[in-house]
Amino acid sequence: MTVKRFSDFILDFLSGLIMTAVCGVFLAISLLLMLSEIQVPFDPAWLAVIISGLPIAYSAVYELVFERSITSELLITIAMVASIFIGELFAAGEVAFIMAIGAILEDKTIDRAKKGLMNLVSLSPSQGRRIGPDGEQLIPVEQIQPGDILRVLPGESIPADGEIVFGDTSVDQSIMTGESLPVDKSIGDSVFCGTLNHFGSVDIKAEKGSEDSALSKLIRMVRDAQEDKAPMQRVVDRWASLLVPAALVIAVLVFVFTRDITRSVTVLVVFCPCALALATPTSIMAAIGQASKYGIIIKSGDALERMSRVDCVAFDKTGTITNGSLTVSDVISFCPELSADELLVLAASAERYSEHPLGKAIVQHAKDKGISFKSADSFKMIPGSGIISIINQSKVLCGSESFLRAEGVTIEKSVTAVLNRLRSQGKAVILIGRDISFLGVAALSDTLRSCVPAMIRELGQVKAEPVLLTGDHLSAAEYFAAQSGIKSVFAGLLPAMKVEKIKELQLSGRSVCMIGDGVNDAPALKTADISVAMGQMGSDIAVETADIALMGDDISKIPYLKRLSAATVKLIKFNISASMIINLIAIILSVFALLNPVTGALVHNAGSVLVVLNAALLYDRKKFALSRQGGAAPS
């Protein structure tokens, strides 16, 4: 072991909980001896100074000599040395002891905030079962490649993001989405790395390697968040460096005017900016930990501060306020001999071999209703127009209005009004005909997320105006905006136009939060004052660009995020103000000799402990618990 590593080991050992407790025991003995006026050749307070003071002094000297940085530890070291110089050993040991307690409390707060990250890391599987020509083989997750077929047995963690190609199961994906109950999965459904396979054995086709999985991205984002400093924290760091020379100047002036070295030393003791330095990082870490419990990844303290100022929330439509997938919303028969279900059977049977998303949606809708398909003798797809299928020796047509007319189908004018109504609701329509007869219409629509209306109402309560920015037609945008409760709608926007609209809002004095999920949203996410990406279904570029990611795509959490960020900034300001007021009062009392080094250390460091405990409470504060619309609180 090198000298450097040995010294680091000793300092870490002295800073630990056990040695800090030992330090407290020696201080207690020293206090009893002092109160009993018992004279001993060796004051136990010396051991307290060595145990808790040595790590502080080492840190101060190292930062000053090697980093050219004046830190709060330097002022604490000066205060300890000055206390020892005037014979106040107990005061020196007390300063070191209470600072050690403050450091332990800070570490505990940060450890609790990092608990979510540690849970994520522990969920990362180490190996997977790859199915190849030689059968089943256990391999490290690092060797998994996109396209690999992986078998996952009941009770095992899923080793990679992928799609189920064989089997049915239920998956506990609470770590990604916050859902408390297992989710049923079958062929074609997506699964995520680190989630737990509950019941059935399934084969999945890996879509990404382990380094690119949603879980790995989540872990990287949390780590980045912990390493980033908020602007408030940088300001506090600068204040701490200014307070050191200020304390020395005031201590010297007090000695010059009073000729009382004890007062000067007391000023140095109470001037230490410990509470000030702890105010921001502990609050930021507690807030990030609080948010991570709900599947919200805040990448930096800076993002929290900016989110607290937001007064306008801009939403993309598809995949953000909507579910992002087309489903059949209406089946309307214009043929008296055919019911809606019979028309659906015909359309689904004709579209059974279609690769078009609209055709697939019709087929899936029929499967969901348990409808039996009719056999088709032939199938032909005309790209951009529709399909022709022969069923029971009749030609069944599904496609656009122009396609059916071109095939000789007669469409009455009365149908046009129905088509216009459906299109005004943002729905895609497929016309269905048989031979030359028009039979009816199947309409498909994206669906509004069920939580959106309640979420929009909550945004009003936190004074954030919702705005819809979408590339869709105005009629579709207005339809979903009306369902949501959003009054400001801007439609037909290309990506560059979304950027311009956000800039317009910013120029009007608004602080804009942009929420999106697609590649086309990335420029707007980057332009907004703060950005939130849908972490599950969003594109990689959107998630990487955004400041915050919703891993469960649950936008009902946006009002909670706004409340949490505002409360965090308020707490930071309170802690900073409280620490400065405590220090100011203690300095005045010290100048007038109403505090001595011992009582001064108690008053000053009580403020430090208060700041850390106040920040720790933010991690578990129930007032931020999600509403019913936003999901249940995690266990």
The CATH number covering residue 149 comes to: 2.70.150.10
Q: Is residue 468 included in any domain, yes or no?
A: yes
Q: Sheet of 437-445: strands edge to edge?
A: 327-333, 437-445, 428-434, 394-399, 386-391, 378-382
pTM of the predicted model, to two decimals? 0.63
Q: Is 41 left (phi over 0), alpha (psi -120 to 50) or beta?
A: alpha
pLDDT in tens, 188-230: 888 888 788 887 789 999 987 766 666 666 566 555 544 544 4
Task: Give me the residues paired with residue 2 across strands.
Answer: none
Give the range of the structural domain holding residue 516, as residue numbers without chain letter. 308-323+449-565
Q: Is residue 276 included in any domain, yes or no?
A: no
Retrieve residue 549's tokens: 């990611």
CB 427 within 8 A of CB 330: yes
Tell me what percent of the residues of the chain surpass a pLDDT of 70: 82
Q: Tokens 């509004």 map to which residue?
A: 448
Q: Is residue 41 included in any domain, yes or no?
A: no
pLDDT in tens, 437-483: 999 999 988 888 889 999 999 999 999 999 999 877 787 788 889 98
Same domain flag for 315 and 352? no
The CATH number covering residue 488 comes to: 3.40.50.1000
Q: Is residue 413 included in any domain, yes or no?
A: yes
Whole-angstrom Cα distance, residue 102 to residue 151? 49
Whole-angstrom Cα distance, residue 262 to residue 584? 18
Instruction: List the catalytic residue out of 316, 521, 529, 553.
Output: 316
Whole-angstrom Cα distance, residue 256 to residue 559? 56
- pLDDT interval class at 340 (50, 70, 90): very high
Q: Is residue 247 included in any domain, yes or no?
A: no
Query: Which among 512, 547, 565 is the end of a domain?
Result: 565
Report CA-CA distances (Å) from 91 to 7, 22, 72, 94, 535: 26, 17, 18, 5, 52
Of the candidate ranges 48-62, 113-127, 597-611, the one whose mean pLDDT is the lowest: 113-127
Q: Is residue 485 included in any domain, yes or no?
A: yes
Q: Is residue 472 included in any domain, yes or no?
A: yes
Retrieve residue 204's tokens: 């999945």
CB 58 within 8 A of CB 96: no
pLDDT in tens, 374-424: 988 899 888 667 899 999 889 999 988 888 999 999 888 888 889 888 887
> H-type helices in 320-371, by residue range?
340-350, 357-368
Same domain flag for 395 and 460? no
- pLDDT interval class at 633 (50, 70, 90): very low
Same domain flag for 439 and 411? yes
Sequence-ordered list of residues with C-beta below 8 angstroms from that of 580, at least 6 positions apart, any chain: 276
Same domain flag for 177 and 316? no
Amino acid 417 reads: A
Same domain flag for 364 and 391? yes
Q: Is 114 left (phi over 0), alpha (psi -120 to 50) or beta?
A: alpha
- pLDDT interval class at 345 (50, 70, 90): very high
Split into its structural domains, the chain has a count of 3
How, if at all, do strands 135-140 and 149-152 pair?
Answer: unpaired
Same domain flag for 420 and 453? no
Same domain flag for 405 and 500? no
Query: Which among 541, 565, 589 is the end of a domain?
Result: 565
pLDDT in tens, 247-284: 888 889 998 998 888 899 888 888 776 666 667 777 87
Examine the residue annotation and report whether 554 is marked as an active-site residue of this protein: no
DSSP letters spanning 335-349 = -TT--HHHHHHHHHH
What's the pLDDT score for residue 179? 46
What's the count of helices (H) and strands (E) in the chain, helices before strands? 24, 22
The CATH number covering residue 409 comes to: 3.40.1110.10
Same domain flag for 353 and 436? yes
Q: Which residue has the higher pLDDT, 621 or 63?
A: 63
CA 387 to chain centre: 45
- pLDDT interval class at 17 (50, 70, 90): confident
Question: 3-state SS of the chain: helix, strand, coil percent to 5?
Answer: 55, 15, 25
Q: Is residue 392 included in any domain, yes or no?
A: yes
Same domain flag for 453 and 380? no
Same domain flag for 439 and 453? no
Same domain flag for 421 and 487? no
Query: Which among 445, 478, 513 is the end of a domain?
Result: 445
Residue 490's closest CA among 515, 521, 468?
468
